[in-house]
Chain A
Amino acid sequence: SQQGEEDPQALSIQEGENATMNCSYKTSINNLQWYRQNSGRGLVHLILIRSNEREKHSGRLRVTLDTSKKSSSLLITASRAADTASYFCATPLGSGSARQLTFGSGTQLTVLP
Chain B
Amino acid sequence: EPEVTQTPSHQVTQMGQEVILRCVPISNHLYFYWYRQILGQKVEFLVSFYNNEISEKSEIFDDQFSVERPDGSNFTLKIRSTKLEDSAMYFCASNSLAGTDTQYFGPGTRLTVL
Question: What's the minimum C-beta distance from A25 to chain B, rounded to whole angstroms?
Answer: 13
How many of chain B's residues touch chain A, expressed as a range? 20 to 34
B45 touches A102 (CB 8 A): yes
Question: What's the minimum C-beta distance from B43 to chain A, rounded to whole angstroms?
Answer: 4
> Which residues from A are CB-within-8-Å of B91?
42-43
> Which residues from B are CB-within-8-Å of A35?
105
Q: Tell me whether B108 is interfacial, beta carbon within 8 Å.
A: yes
A104 touches B49 (CB 8 A): no
A41 touches B50 (CB 8 A): no
Partner of A33, one of B56, B58, B102: B102
B105 touches A100 (CB 8 A): no
> Which residues from A are CB-within-8-Å of B55?
96, 98
Q: Tell me whether B71 is interfacial, beta carbon within 8 Å.
A: no
Q: Tell me whether B82 is interfacial, beta carbon within 8 Å.
A: no
B33 touches A100 (CB 8 A): yes
> Which residues from B are CB-within-8-Å of A44?
105
Residues of A within 8 A of B (CB-CB), count: 26
> Which residues from B are CB-within-8-Å of A88?
43
B108 touches A101 (CB 8 A): no
CB under 8 Å from chain A, chain B span 13-38: 31, 33, 35
Complexed CA–CA distance, A105 and B40 (Å)? 9
Question: What's the minimum C-beta distance from A90 to chain B, rounded to whole angstroms?
Answer: 8
CB under 8 Å from chain A, chain B span 38-84: 41-45, 48-50, 55-56, 58
Question: What's the minimum C-beta distance from B40 to chain A, rounded to whole angstroms?
Answer: 10
> Which residues from B are CB-within-8-Å of A98?
31, 33, 48-50, 55-56
A33 touches B108 (CB 8 A): no
Nearest residue (CB) in B for A43 is B105
Complexed CA–CA distance, A35 and B43 (Å)? 11
- Can you list 10 contacts pairing A with B, beta carbon distance less than 8 Å? A33-B102, A43-B105, A44-B105, A90-B43, A92-B101, A96-B56, A97-B50, A100-B33, A100-B48, A102-B45
